[in-house]
Structure 1
Amino acid sequence: MTLNSWMYWVYLLHIVNIIRGHENLSRRNATSVSQSSDYRNQTAKYGIDGITTQTEYFCAHTAVNQSEAWFQVDLGEPFSLKTIRIVYRDEGYWRPYRFRYFYLDLSNSSVNGSTTTDRKRCYQDNTTVPDLPPSIINITCPFVARYVIVQNDYFGNDTHSTGPILEICEIEIFGCSINCNGECETTGYCAECNTNLWGENCIQSCPDHCNGGICNRTTGSCDFGCRNGTWGIFCNLTCSTNCADDVCEIKNGSCVNGCKGNFDGEKCEVCDAFHYGENCKESCGQGCINNTCFANNGTCSLGCVENFVYPKCNSEYHLMTKSHEETNKAPYIGVGIGVFLLLIFVLIGAIAVHRVFLKEKHLAAELVDCKRINPKIDINQPFLMTILESNYL
C-alpha cells in the first residue's frame, strides 16, 4: 500500500467517525448558501451540492479583485454543531494558495448583519508563504449557531493572488437539533432528547409534572414518576388533598404514605372507622362498640356497649331513665293540683248553698211568728220581707 492510499484510508476513517452520530446539516432542504461575489457562474450552490471533486469547475468561486471574500451557510435555525469539514480547490498544479489566513466564524446573525467581533471564532489559519494550508480540513466547533461563515481578507503578494478569493468545493456541517441530548443520526433523528422534550425530533414538551422533567421519548408518558401532588401516566391528575405528604401512586392515585387527619381509604376520601361528619371532625360516641360508627350519620355500626343508648351511644341508660321518670311525674302532679282546686271550688259552693238554705228557713220561721202574734198582718207585703231579710245580711 502506497503512502497516498494509506493516508486516504486514514482520512476516510476519520470522516466516518465525524459523521457517525451527527447529521450533515448542509444537505438539509432548509439550508441556503451565499457568497460575497461570483466568479463566472460558479455560485455558492456548488459548495453544498455533495460533490467533493477539487477541480475549479466543481467549486464555488468568488470574483477576483474584491476587497473581501466570504462564503456563508444559513441553516435556517440554530443547531448544536460539532464538526465542520471544508474541501478546498486543489488541482495539483493549482494549490490552495488563496486559502491562506482564512477564518471560520459562527453566528446567529448573517454576515451582513454582524461583525467579526460579534461572532464566535472557531478557526484561524496562520499559514505563511511558502507553506500552504491543507486543502481538506476538519474543524471541531462545538457551539450553537445558525450561520457558518468562511471569510478571507488575505491580500497576498505571491503570483497567485488577485485580492481575497475563496474557492470552496464542498462544506459539510455536522451537528444535531438543539433539542438533542448529545448525538443524533445522520437523518437528524436525536439519539436522546434534552430534558423536558420528547418526540422524533425532540420538539414536543414533556408534561409539566413529570418527575425531573423527563418523559418517555416515544410516548411522552412520565415513566420516572410524577412530582408530588399528581398522578397518571402523564401526571395530569391530582392526588387527593387528604394524602399524607401529597404523594400518591402514579398508576391509580392511591395515597402512598397514608392519610392526613381522620381520613381513610386508598385515596383518603372517606372517614376512618372512628370519625364521621364534615371533614371527619366528629368522633364516634363513647359508648359505641369498638368506638366505630357510620361516617354519614355517626350511628354506632356495631351497636352500643352496656348501659348506653342507641343510635349514637353518647348517653348512659340510667341517666336517661331518671330523666324519663322525672318527666313522667309531671302530668300526675298537674292532675293533683287540678283536683285540689276543684274540691275547693265545690266546698265553697256547698257552703254558699247551705247559707241560702238556712236563710230561707229562718225567714219562714219569722213569718210564722209574726202571723201568730198578729193574725191581721199580711205576710206577703214586700216591705215586711225587706225588713226580715235585712236582719240576715
Structure 2
Amino acid sequence: MALVDLSSKRQWREVKWDPPPEPMTKNIAFQKTAAQSSNYSEGGIPHCAAYAVDGNTDTDVSHRRCSYTNNAAASWQVLLDDHRMFNISRIRIYLRKDFWENNNGLQVLVNGDLCVPVSGTTPDWLHGPVTNPVDVTCTHVMKGNNVTITISGQFLTLCEVQVFVCSDGWFGSDCNKQCQCLDPSEVCDKETGYCRSGCAAGKHGPGCQQDCDHGHYGVSCSYTCGQCSGSSDCQKVNGTCTQGCQQGYSPPLCKVCNDRWFGTNCSKQCKCQNEIEVCDKTTGSCTSGCRAGKTGVGCQDDCVQGQYGINCSSTCGQCSRSSDCNKDDGHCTQGCQIGYLLPLCKDCVEGRYGVNCSQQCGSCKGDSPCNTTTGVCMLGCTDNFEEPYCKSCVQGKYSVNCSATCGHCKDGPGCDRSTGHCERGCLPGYAPPLCVKECGDYTYGLNCSGVCSCLNQCEVCDKVTGECGTGHQNTTTTTPTGTASPVKADDTGNATDVRFIVVCCLMVLLLAYSAVVTTLNVRLRRLQALSKAELEKQYMSLETPEESSAYDVISIQGVTNDV
C-alpha cells in the first residue's frame, strides 16, 4: 500500500515480504544477543534491541515489535557468536513503515568494518520511493561475528534484522555453489568451497566444482573411462558407460571383455568347441578345445588347405577344381570332381568305384549299383556277363552287350569277347576272323587257306576237305596203305589254278552277255517291222495330194522315224 508522510510530503511504499525457504542460506542473527545505544520508551515500556532479532517482521511500531533508540549517533548491534567467525555479505533490514526520513545516513558494519554496498542495494533516502525491507549486499564477503547498524540521527528504528550466511553444504558470495566433498558429512568452507577430505568422486578444481576431464572419472579423477560406445564419455562418479559399450566389452564400465570375446580391444570372438564356454579373455584359450574348422592360439586360425573338422583332423574330399572344403563340416561348396558324391565328395556316385572313382561299374543285374570300393555287382550280372565284375562276356559270347555268339573257333568256343575274333583261327571250312561264315567258293580248309583243284574247274570243292566230285586235276598217288588218294596241287601251283578258274568264269559271262545282246536285237527288228506295217495301213485310209502317193508319205514317215 502507498502511504504519505505529512511532515516531509515524500511518498514511500511498504512491501509485505515473506521470503520462501532458501536452502542455500540461513539467518544467523535470529534470537542472538542484541544491544543498542539507547532505548526509546512509550508509557514506561522500552523498545528493546532484541525486538529486531525475534523473527517478527511487523513494521508497525505501535505493535511494540521493533527496536527503537532515542539519542544522537544511534546504533544497534547483534553478536552472532562468541568465537566463530562468519563470511558475511548479505543483510536484510525491516524498517518502520513511517517516518522514513529518520533512516538518513544508515550504515552497516561487520566487526567494525563498513559494508560497502553494491550499487542499488541501499535505500536512496533522498530520491524516490524505497522498497521495504531493504537488502544490503556487500561488495565483498566480510569475515566477522557481529553486525552493527548506525544512523546520523537519534531515532533508529529496526523492526527485524536478518544476517544471511550460506547453509551447510553451500558456499560462495551468493551461496549458490554446493559443496562437493568426498566426505558427505563435511561442511566445506562457505567462502571457497574447500574440503578437507578432498573432492567428491567425479569432481576436481577450486571448490571441487569442475567435472573430471573427458575420459576420466572417480575420486581425484584418477580413473580412466572404459570403451564406451562411439565417442561418448563415461559417468564421472562411477565410470558407467551410460550409452553402452563398444563391441566386445562388458557393461557397465566397458573395461573387460564381454563373455566370449577376448584380446586387444576385445575385438576377437571366442571359438570354443563348447559354444557356451567363456574363453580366456586375454588369450582366447578354450578348455574344451577349438571348434570345428579352427586351430592355433585363441582358435582364430582356419584349418590349412585340405583339412577340416575338430582339431583339423579330417581330410577334405575330392572337391571340384581343387577348391577347398568348408572348414567346419567338410562340405565341398563348389561341387565334386567327376565320379564323387556330394556333399563330402568322398564316396563314389552310383555306377562308379575304385581309386578316385575312376572306374565304371559293369553290367550289374537290374541296373543295381556295384560296390563303390571293389566294383563287385552284389546282385549278380546281366545275362551273358561274367561275375563278379560283370564287365566281360562269358565264354562263347561277345559284343558290347554280350549278345553275339562266337563263331567256329579252333581249339574251343572262345573268341575275343569284344570283337568276336577267333584268336587261334577258325575250324576247317570257316573264314576268319569271326569264323561264322563258310569258306568262299573254290577255297577250303583251315582259315580257308586251301584252293580247290577239281578236274571241272568250275566245280566248288568240299569246304572242309577240299574233295571234288569230278576228281582232282593231278593223278592219284598211292598212300602207304595202298589206297588211292587225290594228289592236290602244291602251293606253288595254287595261284595259277585260281587265275585259270577266273578266266574261265569271265569267258562264260562274256558268252552269256553276247547271247542276251543278240536276242534283244532280234526282238527290236521285229517290233520295227510291225510298226511299219501298221503305219502303211493307216496312211492307205488317208486322202493324199494328187502329186503324192501313199507310198511317198509312208516313205517320208519312215525316214522321219529312222531319224
- Which structure ranks higher in relative contact order (CA pairs < 8 Å, sequence separation ≥ 6)? 1
Larger Rg: 2
The bucket for the TM-score relative to the shorter chain is 0.3 to 0.5
Q: TM-score, normalised by structure 1?
A: 0.40
Bigger share in helix = 1
